[in-house]
């Protein structure tokens, strides 16, 4: 299926995004996770919803591209 996003209204685009998002949440095991993603998820679980400090985030991002 091909959709020309330029032909959709803003509301149609939002509905499409919502539909895609909902389908991903329903099949969360279908998205492959590598070790870095797993570590981020585990770190988030340890923070009880608190955010990761920006400097720590920047270092992790830079480390990924070394």
Could you state, in order of their start, the residue ranges of all structural domains in the chain?
1-31, 33-66
Residue 5 CA, chain-centre distance (Å), reads 21
pLDDT value of position 12: 92
Whether 28 shows a pLDDT value over 70: the answer reads: no
Nearest by Cα to 14 from 60, 46, 22, 58:
22
54-64 tens-digit pLDDT: 788 888 888 88
CA distances from 27 to 4, 13, 21, 30 (A): 25, 22, 10, 5
3-class secondary-structure state, position 65:
coil
As a whole number of angstroms, the distance between CA 7 and CA 54 comes to: 38
């Amino acid at each position: 299926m091909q959709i020309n996003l330029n032909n959709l209204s803003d509301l149609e685009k939002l509905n499409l995004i919502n539909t895609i998002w909902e389908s991903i949440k329903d099949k969360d095991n279908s998205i492959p996770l590598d070790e870095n993603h797993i570590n981020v998820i585990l770190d988030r679980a340890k923070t009880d919803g608190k955010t990761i400090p920006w400097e720590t985030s920047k270092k992790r991002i830079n480390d990924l591209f070394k």
